Amino acid sequence: MECMKVPFIDLQAQASAIRADLDPMLEALIQSCGFVLGQSVSDFEAAFSAYSDCDHGIGCASGLDALKLALRALDVGPGDEVITAANTFIATTLAVSSIGATPVLVDMDTYFNLDVEKLESAITPKTKAIIPVHLYGQPADMDPINALAAKHGIKVVEDASQAHGARYKGRRAGSMSDIAAFSMYPGKNLGAFGDAGVMTTRDEALAEQLRVLRNYGSNRKYYHQVLGENSRLDSMQAAVVLCKLKHLDDWNSRRRAAAAKYSEQLAGVGDLHVPKTADFAEHVFHLYVVRTARRDDLLAQLQANDIGCIIHYPVPIHLQEAYAGMGWKPGDFPETERAADEICSLPIFPHISDEQINHVCETIRGFYA
């Protein structure tokens, strides 16, 4: 027991679970040579849009690209402001910056998501879009966000990169905005064997624009309507996520069960705060994030015991060197800054064992003893 290792993430079991389905698909793909935007891409797009209660799914090269393409399809560009959560991975704001628009941040609530109470005061005449992020697997509070967006004539793009399969008041993540963006980076709840992304929408015209934008601005070979990009989902990655999609609900339930075990064993231990799930949310625990004022010591203790732990994220976006030119300063988003000093993500993945969870919890209780 003492020398048990608990990796932060272990993708091996997921890979094994799809091999029987995947191997013949890869063989057929190699035979057909339809490597880019082939049959598995359209099959995946249809399956994922149906899963997400949307009419259209459009594969692309990454989650960052999914966000960029979504903003471009909504005509966001230089001079526009886009509001998003201060507590997110930098890709969310990079998508905004990279198309020449300006990211505007809103501090987080107690669920680590964009605080809707602080949203309206961030809206200006230049605000063109809002990107709520369903961080760690828990949906943002979409109804008030959509209501404010409608009131001010603003578009909404969900960043659902960490929330494949999550629900908000019964509605799927990815089905509650103009366009949703998903990353399918390998460690995500639905992860490829490399970089991949997908967008969902219910709007036929937007779907067509996204298809054109991801493919060199073209829907007819060598005829280019707009200045597009090369951001296509390749057929091998599409085959992987198509096979994994069948397991997603089961794997998300396993994540929820693991989270429940952690919370049961860790509630009330020392000054540790276990993550809270909002009444409106069906959380899919992409990450299980605890908080403690003694974070650095706890992290060191866990790492010394071969337990993989990571901070998501150690430096808030507004304090990143890359954004030094924005004029943001310490104190601008105090809840996010406080969280960055206190949070720690414990190991979680669908096939984590009870022994592994118990070992992590025992180590944490030992730390506080």
Q: Which residues bind ligand PLP (CB under 6 A)?
A: 62-64, 88-89, 91-92, 133, 159, 161-162, 183, 185, 195, 197
Contact 114, 156 (CB under 8 A): no
Both tokens of 265, joined, read 């064993």
Cβ at position 227, least distance to ligand PLP in Å: 21
CB closer to ligand PLP, 51 vs 89: 89
Cβ at position 350, least distance to ligand PLP in Å: 18
DSSP string spanning 41-85?
HHHHHHHHHHHTT-SEEEEES-HHHHHHHHHHHTT--TT-EEEEE
CA-to-CA distance for 80 and 90, rounded, in angstroms? 19
Cβ at position 64, least distance to ligand PLP in Å: 4
CB closer to ligand PLP, 51 vs 185: 185
CB closer to ligand PLP, 69 vs 266: 69
CA-to-CA distance for 28 and 230, rounded, in angstroms? 25
* 290-to-107, 227, 275, 276, 368 alpha-carbon distances in Å: 18, 44, 6, 10, 14
Three-point CA angle 186, 114, 149, nearest 5°: 105
Cβ at position 61, least distance to ligand PLP in Å: 8
CB closer to ligand PLP, 59 vs 367: 59
Cβ at position 215, least distance to ligand PLP in Å: 18
Residues shown for the chain: 369
CB closer to ligand PLP, 215 vs 237: 237
Three-state secondary structure call for residue 37:
coil
Cβ at position 279, least distance to ligand PLP in Å: 23
Contact 104, 218 (CB under 8 A): no
CB closer to ligand PLP, 91 vs 248: 91
CB closer to ligand PLP, 238 vs 298: 238
Three-state secondary structure call for residue 166:
coil
**C-alpha dihedral (167, 155, 276, 289), degrees to nearest 10:** 100
Three-state secondary structure call for residue 220:
strand
Q: Give the nearest residue (CB) to ligand PLP.
A: 63
